[in-house]
Structure 1
Amino acid sequence: METTSQAEPQDATGGPGESGDDTGQGVPGARRAVDGFLLAQFPWYGLDEAFSGPRWLMQVGMAADGAVEHGSTGHGDEPSLRAELGHDDQRFAVVVTVASRPVRRSADGTGILEATSVSSAAWLAGSGLLSCTWPAQMERALRQDWLEQQTAIAWELADDLHGGAWSMLSLPVDGVPTDFHYRESEYGWVLAGAAHHDVHIGAYGRGMSAYGLGFAVVKDIESYA
C-alpha cells in the first residue's frame, strides 16, 4: 500500500509507541498521535475489554489525497529494540485497522492504486512485526539487506493468503466469531481478516498468544494516548 506516515519512523533505540515527547512545534507527541487518529472516517479497532493491560497509540498512514487509510493501536509492552530488553521478554499485540477503499489515487494524482484488502492488512501487520523484531545484534551494514529480504517475503506471504504458510483462526470481532488468516514465525505471529464497518483488521504480536484475543471497536481513541 502506498501511504505516507503521520509520524516519523522510530529508530533502533526507541519503541514504536513512544510518542509522549514534545515535538519541535511545542505540541506533545501523544497529542499529535491522537489528532491523526481523530481524522479518520472509519472506526478504530483494538483488543476487547478482556485485555486489562496498557494500551497506546502508534501512528496513522495517509493516502495521497490526505485521507487516513490505516493506523495501529498497541497493547502490552511497547516494543523496543534496546539491547538490554531481549525480544523474548516483550509481550505485546498490535492491532492494525485498514479502511476499505475500492478507489485510491496515486501520489501524483494521475493513476489508480490497488484497492485495500485483507492482504493489505496482512502486509502492514507483517512489516510491522519486522520493524520491531529484527536482530538487534546484527551488524548495521547487514541490517538493511536483512530487512529488505524479510520485507519481500512478508509481501509475498500477504499476497497469497490461501497458501500453505497460513492457517485459519476464528476470533471474536465485536463479539461475533470471525475467520482470520494466521501464521507464526520465529519473530512472532501475524493475522488478518475482514471486520465490520468496512474495515480490515491486521494484528501482530510476540509473547502474547493470539488464540485468546478478541477485537472490538475502540469507543474512545483518546484513552490510548
Structure 2
Amino acid sequence: METTSRVGATAPATEGGQGLAADRGTVDGYLRAPFPWYGLDEAFTGPRWLMQVGMASDGAVEHGSIGHGDTPSVLHEGVSAEPREKFAAVVTVAGHPSRRVADGSGLLEATSVSSAAWLAGVGLLSFTWPGQMDHALRDDWLEQQTEAAWELADDLDGPEWSKLSLPVDGVASSFRYRESEFGWVLAGSTEAGVHLGAYGRGMSAYGLGFAVVKDISAYV
C-alpha cells in the first residue's frame, strides 16, 4: 500500500463557525489551496459550512472539511436513541507523492486514500464522547481511538471495510465504507487528483454524491 501520511493531519474543529457563515480568515485558508474542494452535490439542499483547513509543516494547505446539514453535537458512546441531528462532513485531501519540504528540512510523505480515511475517522471521533468517562480520561481514550482509526485506514482491504459506489462529479466512483456505533466513514479518490473522505450520522451515506465546490468564497 502507498505510504499514508499524518503530516498536518488534525481533526476538523469541533467549535468556531460550524453552522454559521465562515469569517474571511477561514475562507482565506481554503482559497490558498492549489486543489479543488469537494462537497455534497446539488441533490443536497440543506445548510453547508466550512470547518477547518490543515497545513503541512511548510505551510502548504493539505486538507480541509466542509460540513453539511445540522451542526453536530457530541454523541455519547452507547447511546441507542436515534441522534437528533443529521450531518455529513466531506474531507478533501491534496493528492501528491512524497516531496521535499520547501525549506529543505525534510520530506513530506505521500498522501493516499488511507490519508482521507484516517482524517474522516478522526473527524467522527471529534463528535464522540464515551459515556460515564471522566473528562481527565477522555484524552487517553481519544488517543487510543485515533490510533485505531489509523490502523483501520491503513488496511482498506481488510474486513472492517466494504465497497460502495457513489457519484463524484456525476461519474460512479469506488469508495471504502465502514460503520460504527458513532456513525459512518468512507474514503475514495477523484479524477481531479484529490482524495475524498467523508463521515456523518443520521444521514445515510448510500444516497450521497460529491461534486467540486464552484465558489468557496460564497461561504462568507
State yes or no: 1:115 paired with 2:98: no
Question: 1:16 and 1:41, CA in 2 relative to 1: closer, same or farther beyond 3 A?
Answer: same
Report the equivalent of 1:216.
211
Q: Which residue of 1 aligns with 2:73?
A: 80
Distance 1:176 1:8, change over 3 A: closer
Q: TM-score, normalised by structure 2?
A: 0.87
Q: What amino acid does structure 1 have at the position aligned with 2:7?
A: E
**1:73-152 correspondence runs (5 A):** 73-81=66-74, 88-105=83-100, 109-135=104-130, 138-152=133-147
Alpha-carbon spacing, 1:18–1:212, altered in 2? closer, same or farther (3 Å): closer
Alpha-carbon deviation of 1:180? Answer: 0.1
CA distance in 2, matches of 1:221, 1:136: 37
* Structure 2 counterpart of 1:3, one-letter code: G
TM-score w.r.t. length of structure 1: 0.85
Q: Give the conservation status (yes or no) of the 8 Å contact 1:99–1:199.
A: yes
- Deviation of 1:104 after TM superposition, in Å, equals 3.7
Between the aligned partners of 2:75 and 2:115, the Cα distance in structure 1 is 29
Deviation at 1:108, TM superposition (A): 7.9
- Decide whether aligned partners of structure 1 residues 147 and 106 sit closer, same or farther in structure 2, where only a CA change above 3 A counts: farther
CA contact (8 A) 1:16 1:78 kept: no
Pick the aligned partner of 2:198 from 174, 198, 203. 203
The one-letter code matched in structure 2 to 1:45 is: Y
After superposition, the CA RMSD in angstroms is 2.5
Partner residue of 1:156? 151
Q: Which structure has more RCO (C-alpha within 8 Å, separation ≥ 6)?
A: 2
How far is 1:88 from its partner? Answer: 1.1
Structure 1 contact 15–79 (Cα < 8 Å) conserved = no
Q: Which deviations, in whole Å up to 9, do the C-alpha atoms of 1:5-58 show, x marking residues without a partner? A: 6x9954xxx4672666xxxxxxxx621110100000010000000000000000
**Higher mean C-alpha deviation, range 32-41 or range 104-113:** 104-113
* CA distance in structure 1 between the partners assigned to 2:25 and 2:130 by the alignment: 30
- Percent identity between matched residues is 68
Which of 171, 174, 187 is residue 176 of structure 1 equivalent to?
Answer: 171
What's the offset of the Cα at 1:139?
A: 1.4
Evaluate the alpha carbon distance shift between residue 140 and residue 164 of structure 1 in structure 2; reply closer, same or farther with a 3 A threshold.
same
Deviant stretches of 4+, over 3 Å: 7-10, 104-109
Contact 1:4 1:64 in 2 (8 A): no
How far, CA to CA, are the matches of 2:45 and 2:110 in structure 1?
35
How far the C-alpha of 1:222 sits from its partner, in A, is 2.0
